[in-house]
Structure formats: structure tokens, C-alpha cells
Amino acid sequence: MEDLTPKNTLAGLRHRIDREHVQPAPLSKDEYLALPEPDRYAHDDARIEWFGSGFLLTTGDTVEMMRSVNAYLRTSNPLSVGERNVVLDGPANVGKTTMLMRVAREVEMQTSRRTPDYRKQGIVPVCYIEVAPKSTPKMIAAAILDFYGVPAGERRTQRELVNNAVTVMLARRTRLLIVDELQMLRLQGSAGDDAIDTLKSIINNAGCVTVFAGIDLTAKMASRSAEQIMARGELRHLLPFSSASDADRSRWAGLVASFERQMRLFDQTPGGLLEFADPLHALTGGRIGDLRRVLSRAMSIMLDEKPTPDAPEVITEAHVFGAAGAQAVLPQPGTAQRKKAAEGIA
């Protein structure tokens, strides 16, 4: 049975870090058709799951984010106070939380390479919390304690909770604190300032590198305390893919082609999905999360509605627009240039 422990707990985060998504077997179509019916359905399910949540694309944004975190981790001393924050800002569905999980996994893997038995030693290199709506300073500290499974205690004062959170982070040798959904924090007024100041106190005393992530933070972090958080590191904007120029459209086409290769369809012509690059951009707003959602549904519709097992496995206009829930006439995109631009993109 699948472990449904929330990712803002140590057990939940590590379950997601450790989970190995099994790639579907590389069958030929003849081998597929020779399978017993239950095994064919199982193979279809495996392909859909792999496409929907199994494979990970390494984008330029992910690489740069990991380089920043690594640089802070390797050059900062836990006993010093300095600039070691990364603020990841952007709209919904552009891959922020997915990127955070990649960062957490990479930091755990790096720790494993240096200290193979780090988990037996009780070392927790990454703490991940999600900000609850209108969080108070006490709730921020309690969220950190909850991550480690340490009871917060209803009657503890704010100072006690903050001290307890710092003590646990130091004891577990936590180097990276990830704070997701920061937009949920009331970032203006005295309550927001107090919550931000609580985070600053925890970060300073625990000596950790911190990654903040949220929706449209730049516009919301207008208070003096919030500005101090922003000024102590770097701001990274994670934006949807643009279609403003030929270069932008080529990058989007490369992304679509990369997704197509992970579908593992028997009859899909390589580059065939590039016919739908423009409408897919219009339907998803260039958001990578929405693109995966639309294409996952299109793939599911196609596999579920095959009239016979040997029917061609090809994503069509009907599948794409059926998955998106939209009714429109497809434009005629310049697919030849996009195919050429996308060649060789993994």
C-alpha cells in the first residue's frame, strides 16, 4: 500500500526521496500484443504512471537552482551569519515544488556519499515545511518540530518553541531548510513581521541554508522584515515558457518533444506532438505542470479508448483537446522548423 505520509514530515519527505519509479519494460509492439490481457493492462498502467509522475526532466532552472544551493552549502559556515538564502518565486504550476523535491533529494544523496550511514547516525540534512495560512510565529516553529516528529506542546511560549526548533535542527545536523508556500504567510503588518523575524532567528541560530518558495512573493514581500529576507541571498524567478520569439518557441518545442519521448507509445512518430506545440502552449500558458497534466490525460484517453489492442497508439487532436477540456480549431503551426530545433534535446 502506498505511503501517504505528508511530505512536510521526515518520513514523508524521505519516502518521496527514496521512491524509485520503475520504468516500463522496453517491449516491442509484437511483444506487447503477445502478453495476456491482464499484463497488457498492467503495461499500459505502468506507462501512464511513468509519464505522469515517474520521470524527471532536468531543466536549466533546476541546474542553476542546485548550483546555488550547493554553493551556499559548501561555502557557508553554520556558525556564521551571512547571505545564504534562495527565494524561488513564480506563479502556480511552473514546477516550484517539484524543483524543491529535486533539491532535497540531491542534498540527501550528497550526504549519503560523504556519510553512508548518516541516517543511522540520526542526521537529517534537509528539513521541509509548508507554511499554513496566516501562520503565527509559534506555528512556524511548531511546523519545524512537527517535521521531526517532536511534540510542540500547546502551552509552550514562542521563545521556547523557537529554541526547541533550533535545538533539534542542530542536534540532527540539518544544513538545508526548505520553506514552501511562503505566500500563505501574512507578509505585511506586525503579525507578518513577527513571523518573518521568527524565521530569521531560527535560520541564524541553526546556521542553515534556506530556500523560500511561493507564488508572487516579489509583489507581496513589501515589509521591512521581508525585505531583509530577500536581501540576504538571491531571488530566482521561475516563469512559464514564453512564446514571444523563435528561440522561446524552440525551447517550448524541445520540452514537448522531451515529454513525447517519455510516453513510450508504439506508433507515435518521433516529433509528432510538435504539430500541437502552439495549441499546447495556449492551453497550458507555458506551464510545465499543466503540460504534463494535459499530456498525461491525453495519453490515458488514447490508451483507454483503443478499440483493439493492436490499434495505433498515436496522440491526436481529439486526445489533446479532450484532455484539456477545450473546444477549438487547431492552427497550422510551422512544424518543420520546430522539429529541427528540437532534434537532440533530451
Helices (H), the chain: 10-18, 29-33, 37-49, 60-75, 96-114, 137-148, 158-171, 189-206, 217-220, 224-231, 246-261, 277-284, 288-304, 317-324, 335-342
Please give the Cα distance from 101 to 105 (Å, whole number). 6
Do 81 and 189 lie in one domain? The reply is: yes
Query: Is there a domain that residue 5 lies in?
Result: no
Q: What does the block give as the cell for 92?
A: 502556480
Please give the Cα distance from 45 to 40 (Å, whole number). 9
Report whether 249 contacts 277 (CB < 8 A).
Answer: yes
**What's the pTM value of the predicted model, to 2 decimals?**
0.81
Q: What is the pLDDT of residue 200?
A: 84
Q: What does the block give as the cell for 252?
A: 517550448
Query: Domain ends where: 192, 214, 237?
Result: 237
Domain count, the chain: 2
Do 92 and 196 lie in one domain? The reply is: yes
H/E stretch holding 87: strand 85-90
Do 132 and 36 lie in one domain? The reply is: no
Q: List the beta bridge partners of residue 286.
A: none
Query: Is there a domain that residue 2 lies in?
Result: no
Query: Domain ends where: 237, 270, 297?
Result: 237
Report whether 182 contacts 191 (CB < 8 A).
Answer: no
- What's 218's domain CATH number? 3.40.50.300
Do 133 and 224 lie in one domain? The reply is: yes
Q: How many CB atoms lie within 10 A of CB 280?
A: 25
Query: Is there a domain that residue 203 lies in?
Result: yes
Query: Is there a domain that residue 90 lies in?
Result: yes
Q: What does the block give as the cell for 10?
A: 521526515
Query: Is there a domain that residue 3 lies in?
Result: no
Do 49 and 94 lie in one domain? The reply is: no
Domain coverage including residue 169: 60-237
Query: Is there a domain that residue 74 lies in?
Result: yes
Do 284 and 338 lie in one domain? The reply is: yes
Please give the Cα distance from 164 to 152 (Å, whole number). 8
Give the SS3 label for residue 2: coil
Query: Is there a domain that residue 221 lies in?
Result: yes
Q: List the beta bridge partners of residue 320.
A: none
Q: What is the pLDDT of residue 324?
A: 67
Do 210 and 332 lie in one domain? The reply is: no
Q: What is the pLDDT of residue 345?
A: 43
Report whether 13 contacts 128 (CB < 8 A).
Answer: yes
Report whether 210 contacts 200 (CB < 8 A).
Answer: no
In 3D space, the residue among 345, 7, 25, 46 whose CA is nearest the CA of residue 146 turns out to be: 7
Do 38 and 64 lie in one domain? The reply is: no
Query: Domain ends where: 220, 237, 254?
Result: 237
119 DSSP assignment: T
Low-confidence ranges of the chain (pLDDT < 50): 1, 326-342, 344-346
Please give the Cα distance from 210 to 69 (Å, whole number). 9
Please give the Cα distance from 303 to 264 (Å, whole number). 12
Q: What is the pLDDT of residue 342?
A: 47
Angle (nearest 5°) at CA 106 between 104 and 109: 110
Q: What is the pLDDT of residue 187?
A: 56
Query: Is there a domain that residue 229 lies in?
Result: yes
Q: Are strands 209-215 and 85-90 parallel, antiparallel or unpaired?
A: parallel
As to burial, measured by CB atoms within 10 angstroms (0-12 exposed, 13-18 middle, 19+ buried), residue 70 is: middle
Do 28 and 105 lie in one domain? The reply is: no
Give the SS3 label for residue 58: coil
